[in-house]
Structure 1
Amino acid sequence: MKLKPTSLLIAGALMGAAVLPVQADPMVDLLKVLRDKGTISAEDYSLLANAAKAKEEKVAAEKEEMVSIVKETEKKSSLVTLDSKGLNFQSADKSFTANIGGRIHADYGFISDDYFDRNVANVNEVGNASKFRRARLGMEGTMFTNWLYGVEVNFGSNSSTEFTDVIIGYQGFENTTIKLGRHKMPSGLEELTSSNRISTMERSNPTNTFALGRYNGLTVATKGSNWTATGGTWLGDGVSAGENSDKDSDYGYAGRATFAPIQEKDSIVHLGLSYNHIKYEDTFSSDSLANNNGRLRARPNNNFFDERPVQVIYQGTESADTYGLEAATIQGPFSLQAEYFKRELNRKEFKDADVDGWYALATYTLTGETRGYRDGVMRTISPKNAVGKGGFGAWELVARYDELDVWDSSAAQEGLLVHSGSTNNNFNNLRGTKSEIWTIGVNWYVNDNIRFMANYVDADIKSDAANNAEGDIKAFLLRGQVAF
């Protein structure tokens, strides 16, 4: 049977209405033309136009339903992402999260000095070397929305593998976080700034000597729009081998408060103070002086040294009180920060001793970026034009001077050692009591995850003791860093 031209037009119109529903209006216009020319009847036009409109409405409803289903599926499905912050996992209801991240700090040192040459005949001079200063891998996140957890392991710096942070916490209170486990106690601006974000390869000698670092304990931190307050207490450090072997662990408490009277995008003024009390371990020994409780020692801002050129031991120390003052400012590409520490050593059989130290650090970003700041802690800079995205990254100049003095002349007449008591080599009997160190550096931020650092360190070791252990230690240090 042959189809009439009118039948072919009607069939084509029906197919168009079925296959191209989103074009219903043009189809209706076509039908109007056919009707007006008399190709199809008014009855056929009405039939086909209604069919096209009905099809359009049906498809629109189906699309809306499909979009709704897709959105609901996305909402209920778990989310896995990989970005600059590491590998991130999130449950469907967002109450469980996990972030896997880490850091690698590969260091290279070129060191010359006259300290060993002048003071120690039988100790090998430190020369050129390389090491992994830090190689960490960890995971952190939330459980049941408000519960925190975190574990990080360090594979670098020495031959042993140890925990850096292991915590369980709670953040269900407004602007307040509670943490239990091994983590940093509230002590010092430079100490609380991550090693991924400090502007020099090593923290200053006063920070390394007096700030608390990581201990196994409890902290409670609260904050407002421009202030923070943190308190903590601890029992031991959580990693020392044989920590409870024939002795009690060190314990203590600490507090830190900060205030930022100016806190704008490119302008920050920071003020802070801290205090901590350490009760040193009691050894179960007939010799009450057979420990290093009053030991104060420091490397020359150079982690390639196993020995510490600065070291004094105040025997009979039972506890110590440390006071810290902080000040910092960020003004566009320029930043300046300084800290002062004073420690009072409380001794059982001898006169108490007071020692102190301070540093000042200045940075300037040649490419114009502003250093970050959040919750009373300095952060790093983020390149405006990262390498690989049309730019050359960010470049930063750094200069720091720090001074550490662990000699109290009024207390030095009794119960004081300037060596460790060991007779392994002559170096133990020849230590300085004061360091004055300049650190000058340049940092290249390739992007938010990769940084290269170069530091020149000039350490002047002095001594007030009779051993005359003095000298200069100079080092050129390089680091390649990746953090995620």
Structure 2
Amino acid sequence: MKPTPSTLTLALLAALAAPAAHAEITIDVIGGSEVSFEGLVQADGNWYSNDFADLNAGAAEGNGGNGDNSEFELRRAELILKGKGPGNFEWVLGYDAKADKYLDANIKYKIGGNSNHFFQVGQYKQPNSMEELSSTKNNDFISKAAITNTFAVARRLGVAYGYGDSDWGVTVSAFGRELTRNLAHGSGYGIRGYWAPINEKGNVFHIGLSYASLDTDADTIRLRARPDADLALIRLVDTGTLADVDRQATTGIEGLWIHGPFKVQGEYMRSNADRYRAGNTDFTGSGGYISGVWNITGETWGYKAGVPTTGLPDDTAKGMWQVGLRYDNIDLNDGAVIAPVPPSTAPKVNGVLGGDMDTYTLGVNYYWRSNFKVSLNYVNVSSSRFIKTTSGNTSEDPANNNRTFNRVVDDNPHILEARLQFFW
């Protein structure tokens, strides 16, 4: 459901009222809890150079698009209250006025005051995927990697326990549906462990492993991915709806290296759908990304709870410049094409052929003062998918006019993306 204009106006007014020199607004001490107010507003623009599919048409999604090869949208309008105390308790309540849904809404108890040893209950990001766990306002690229958007388990209601220190940690979680009605659902569990054998300021090496398993609830799933463009209305890879799926389990491997102003990170995920009915074979999809970012102005990154953190510019008046490059792949093919047997004229598929997609993203970020960020990305997409199409009326092949048949379609668009961001 879309938010009302008055709700969005309230979010924007709150953003504009925030002091420009602070990352958050301190409200008061209430009941022994130090309460602060944070927010994030993002506005995006996408310009498409289409190839096969019209990325802004959206007919299959029930959306008409705007009729242009571009799309503009207020991406996020997040309002967040946080509290520290009383004692070792921390709490957070977040809401996205643009998406009309709750964000983090939980209470955490730090055992012995150690932030790496805790109990947590409520809605929170599940322990999987380093990119998913990283702060949205400091994403290296405008769109998260395809595997993160497709396979990672984001915020769910649950209970978690974490144990570790600054160099390592293990978190286990049991979760259910998302707090906002009619969104993500299906109970499950997850575990993530990480280790940073090198962990110094400006010099970090991290490795991690995660596993998440969840019930599909309705015994169906559909895995699909946009071409690393959040406003695109078309998915270039798509398994379609898979029936008779009991559970989905995803294993993730991650790595991170920080050396001064340079950062390299990557993840690989493999997701399996367990199908219980004879004739429907199990499905496995996979993919990964690797990215490199250079802080041209010389700043480095922090490291906390197994994820990199982005600090403020060294000189807030001049700002911080970043340039990055990412290679991203997702493979939703788990089957084969069977040659047609007469009298059939169309090949058939054994298994699932959802498609394969590679993207290369070149990005530039500019952080100005303590509250502003401007991002520009160029995305080069190469995808291939086995689909059902209908031929047109052609004089070259009159025998196949308006005939349904299957074929492999390559779709290689280019996309330019921009984002304006204000946060406090």
- TM-score interval (norm. to shorter): 0.7 to 0.9
**Structure 1 residues 96 and 316, CA, compared in 2 at 3 Å: closer, same or farther?**
same
Contact 1:129 1:304 in 2 (8 A): yes
Q: How does 1:33-182 map to 2 (within 5 A)?
A: 84-91=22-29, 95-116=32-53, 127-156=69-98, 158=99, 161-175=100-114, 176-182=117-123
Contact 1:259 1:270 in 2 (8 A): yes
Aligned residue among 375, 380, 396 for 1:458: 380
Residue 456 of structure 1: how far off its partner (Å): 0.6
SS of residue paired to 2:93: strand
1: CA distance between counterparts of 2:44 and 2:255? 30
Letter in 2 for 1:370: T
Contact 2:283 2:352 in 1 (8 A): no
Q: How does 1:402-441 map to 2 (within 5 A)?
A: 402-409=328-335, 433-441=355-363
Number of paired residues?
Answer: 368
Aligned residue among 213, 229, 254 for 1:277: 213
Q: Which residue of 2 aligns with 1:259?
A: 195
Letter in 1 for 2:45: Y
Residue 172 of structure 1: how far off its partner (Å): 3.9
Cα RMSD (Å): 2.6
Residue 127 of structure 1: how far off its partner (Å): 1.4
Q: How does 1:249-328 map to 2 (within 5 A)?
A: 249-282=185-218, 293-312=220-239, 313-328=241-256
Contact 1:314 1:415 in 2 (8 A): no
Paired-residue identity, %:
26
1: CA distance between counterparts of 2:79 and 2:49? 33
Contact 1:198 1:380 in 2 (8 A): no
1: CA distance between counterparts of 2:221 and 2:130? 24
Q: Which residue of 2 aligns with 1:58?
A: none
Contact 2:58 2:234 in 1 (8 A): no
Letter in 2 for 1:210: F
Contact 1:109 1:476 in 2 (8 A): yes
Q: For residues 1-49 of structure 1, give each alpha carbon's deviation from its aligned partner in whole angstroms, at most 9, with x where no partner exists.
A: xxxxxxxxxxxxxxxxxxxxxxxxxxxxxxxxxxxxxxxxxxxxxxxxx
Aligned residue among 260, 264, 279 for 1:336: 264
Q: Which residue of 2 aligns with 1:376?
A: 306
TM (normalized to structure 1)? 0.71
Letter in 2 for 1:395: W
- Gaps spanning 5+ residues in structure 1: where? 1-80, 244-248, 283-290, 419-431
2: CA distance between counterparts of 1:396 and 1:456? 14
Q: Give 1 or 2: higher strand fraction.
A: 2
Contact 1:227 1:259 in 2 (8 A): yes
Q: For residues 439-482 of structure 1, give each alpha carbon's deviation from its aligned partner in whole angstroms, at most 9, with x where no partner exists.
A: 10111111232111111111222114544343122111111111
**Structure 1 residues 193 and 456, CA, compared in 2 at 3 Å: closer, same or farther?**
same
**Structure 1 residues 146 and 114, CA, compared in 2 at 3 Å: closer, same or farther?**
same
**Structure 1 residues 152 and 467, CA, compared in 2 at 3 Å: closer, same or farther?**
farther
SS of residue paired to 2:412: strand
**Structure 1 residues 174 and 98, CA, compared in 2 at 3 Å: closer, same or farther?**
closer
Residue 115 of structure 1: how far off its partner (Å): 2.4
SS of residue paired to 2:234: coil
Residue 121 of structure 1: how far off its partner (Å): 12
Work out whether 1:192 is the aligned partner of 2:133: yes
Q: Which residue of 1 aligns with 2:423?
A: 483
Residue 226 of structure 1: how far off its partner (Å): 0.6
Work out whether 1:470 is the aligned partner of 2:396: no
Higher Rg: 1
2: CA distance between counterparts of 1:275 and 1:169? 22
2: CA distance between counterparts of 1:87 and 1:218? 29
SS of residue paired to 2:413: strand
TM (normalized to structure 2)? 0.81
Letter in 2 for 1:223: G
- Gaps spanning 5+ residues in structure 2: where? 1-17, 339-347, 388-405
2: CA distance between counterparts of 1:274 and 1:303? 25
1: CA distance between counterparts of 2:350 and 2:222? 12
Q: Which residue of 1 aligns with 2:326?
A: 400
Aligned residue among 146, 151, 156 for 1:215: 156
Aligned residue among 147, 152, 155 for 1:206: 147
**Structure 1 residues 373 and 367, CA, compared in 2 at 3 Å: closer, same or farther?**
same
2: CA distance between counterparts of 1:240 and 1:436? 34
1: CA distance between counterparts of 2:45 and 2:294? 24
